[in-house]
Structure 1
């Protein structure tokens, strides 16, 4: 065996490019935590904003829709551009957009200012996710499901921490206290700067050797149909998740007369269960096949979503944790499955699926908010309970073989 000592040695370059780099995986997961924590400030602040500005559920839905669409439309474009021209420092600019949105939200004095602030946060998200997902893929060393789960775990942990910190810092005080979350953005800028240096060096190492890309043994038609099936599953998952992330606190407050803080803590438990499910989903997909994990994680939640509207407070908490754990295991497997379908377009695929997920979440929030205004928030959960049944279409996904 040759022991390479020179950074310019092609053997060492080859080994470095193939190695699973856990320090980068956990760093990009931590950056994902900080990014999604800042995003989670928006829905977590809804009860405060609703009271301060006398908002309807339709207006709350429009806030989510504006943020999610800003994130959704730009992500595939960013991913497609960086497939051809990787930008190691682009995520820093994304975090600056997010930080600006948080500052504007803390000072917002009208509904229009709230919309502007969340659009800034959405733009930041659209810049962050495609390149961050690519970094996770490149640092995986072939352990793609595990890498995507670690990356997603960071995001879900941040989504869970956001409402908890808002409940502790903002709810007892005023809307202005949202400004404290700028400190989170500053930490994110530091972490992303260090990751950008590794990414730039990694791109240089990869340029010294010929990269072998494993293509799926499928026709173009089969690939297109598979992508459509995956997007249908994204619709099912994120429409239901929109009902939980945007309206679960209002549901608990209306049905069980909980305070804002009590309802927020229940939301945190649900979001924490999502983090656990995300960590499980990727490695299970590596071991047993992503198709089966996807099938179970969407369709398998159906019995519990159907029971949720009829449960008392205790069992509502238990069922929400089960639902969060099962449903969240899907996304790492779905994203890696899509990346393996189109391995030459990692940024575009990541941007497309993150963008579509955000878009479905935003559209779902807007439509469900309008429905809640015309019926009740409880009726929304009776209706959404049937969404996971769409998971049956995962049966038609192919078993991927490489060529």
Structure 2
């Protein structure tokens, strides 16, 4: 896709203040989103929800973001709109307030759909900002951006143990302040983004050199994108099995309390945040394909052993799985952006949309299976998904290989 006249070009040096700003907003955004899964144990008891209904709540939020993100990203490739960044957080704010006061299952679905719209606007445009501010360190830039989101997601279990167990569903209302802070920071980022649009652009030769690291045929590009889609599937369905059902697995299988189960889930999510931070810089140094392969396929030993471990080793193994697995996604996004230069928004929207959609669909399907079988069966079934990481060996070599 050709670059339009008003579209910004990447900077030559890494702009860390902007990267940290969007990472902080990512932290706030995903903290607010994580309130949904953090409320699952509370809502299941207070509203007598089934596992299938819990899966539908996750699906409603994620599928909304999944469908809208490629649309938002593709539109932004043609006509960037910097001030859509704070507008996206406004939808999340509306969803937070609605979720805090939702009296039934249907209203909860409407609330999480609003939050899904907010994420659909936030992720592709903020990922574009990370690309523009990266300079020559795209893996690092995406990792800085995404580690904020992973830290935010990791706070969900802590919120359940500390906030939602004593305060209940209405405790979500406190996160309206996080939304207001996110709106203010995004307004600042949008100002920088607008300045970038007005700045002189580099020559077409310099721009092409800065954007393209691989020269591939159309068939190679399509094949590589399809492989990346399968890898995102393996990562996010497995992530969904842990974030949605690992707490219930610990409660049912080991008799731990809701508070303690959420702390174990926090260990997984916090380890995932750490893995995200290290993945990008390592990929800049050792190659995208190498790190994608190592991240996903390297999770398999931990995931396969997990369902057969005692409580102590289950906590250790799930943290190791989170650390190794989560280093992949930022690298996948950068690799795909380099496969399809000039389509940063579309690529970001597509892969963030896939992440949300596959995670949400996984929650629904796994919820049905859990109702028909058991949570323990879900853990055993999903343990083999990281083996799909072997497909990464068929990706074209990038310039760092």
Tell me the TM-score range normalised by the shorter chain.
over 0.9
Supply the distance in 2 between the matched residues of 1:157 and 1:383 (Cα, whole angstroms).
Answer: 27
* 1:52 Cα deviation from its structure 2 partner: 1.1
Q: Give TM-score scaled by structure 1 length.
A: 0.94
* 1:401 Cα deviation from its structure 2 partner: 4.5
Deviations along 1:116-152, whole A, 9 cap, x unmatched?
A: 0010000100000000000001101110000011111
Match of 1:105 among 95, 99, 111: 99
Corresponding residue number in structure 1 for 2:331: 333
Deviations along 1:193-230, whole A, 9 cap, x unmatched?
A: 11111111111114486561233310011000000000
Kept after mapping to 1: 8 A contact 2:150/2:276: yes
Corresponding residue number in structure 2 for 1:147: 141
Match of 2:284 among 283, 286, 294: 286
Supply the distance in 2 between the matched residues of 1:261 and 1:187 (Cα, whole angstroms).
Answer: 28
Match of 1:377 among 375, 380, 395: 375
Kept after mapping to 2: 8 A contact 1:145/1:285: yes
Corresponding residue number in structure 1 for 2:259: 261
Kept after mapping to 1: 8 A contact 2:37/2:156: no
Task: Report matched runs for 1:72-83 at 5 Å.
Answer: 72-83=66-77
Supply the distance in 2 between the matched residues of 1:39 and 1:155 (Cα, whole angstroms).
Answer: 10
Supply the distance in 1 between the matched residues of 2:335 and 2:307 (Cα, whole angstroms).
Answer: 33
Corresponding residue number in structure 1 for 2:320: 322
Gaps of 5+ in 2: 1-7
Deviations along 1:299-339, whole A, 9 cap, x unmatched?
A: 11111111000001100100011000000011011110000
1:29 pairs with 2:29: no
Aligned length: 389
Partner SS state of residue 123, structure 1? helix
Supply the distance in 1 between the matched residues of 2:26 and 2:203 (Cα, whole angstroms).
Answer: 30
Match of 2:354 among 356, 362, 365: 356
Match of 2:86 among 77, 89, 92: 92
Deviations along 1:279-298, whole A, 9 cap, x unmatched?
A: 11101110010101000111
Corresponding residue number in structure 1 for 2:3: none
Supply the distance in 1 between the matched residues of 2:385 and 2:42 (Cα, whole angstroms).
Answer: 29
Supply the distance in 2 between the matched residues of 1:390 and 1:207 (Cα, whole angstroms).
Answer: 41
1:179 pairs with 2:173: yes
Corresponding residue number in structure 2 for 1:49: 43
Q: Give TM-score scaled by structure 2 length.
A: 0.95
Corresponding residue number in structure 2 for 1:311: 309
* 1:92 Cα deviation from its structure 2 partner: 1.1
Corresponding residue number in structure 1 for 2:183: 189
1:131 pairs with 2:125: yes
Supply the distance in 2 between the matched residues of 1:117 and 1:369 (Cα, whole angstroms).
Answer: 20
Supply the distance in 1 between the matched residues of 2:266 and 2:197 (Cα, whole angstroms).
Answer: 38
Gaps of 5+ in 1: 1-12
RMSD, matched Cα: 1.5
Supply the distance in 1 between the matched residues of 2:284 and 2:94 (Cα, whole angstroms).
Answer: 39
Kept after mapping to 2: 8 A contact 1:217/1:401: no
* 1:176 Cα deviation from its structure 2 partner: 1.1
Kept after mapping to 1: 8 A contact 2:12/2:135: yes
Task: Report matched runs for 1:112-123 at 5 Å.
Answer: 112-123=106-117
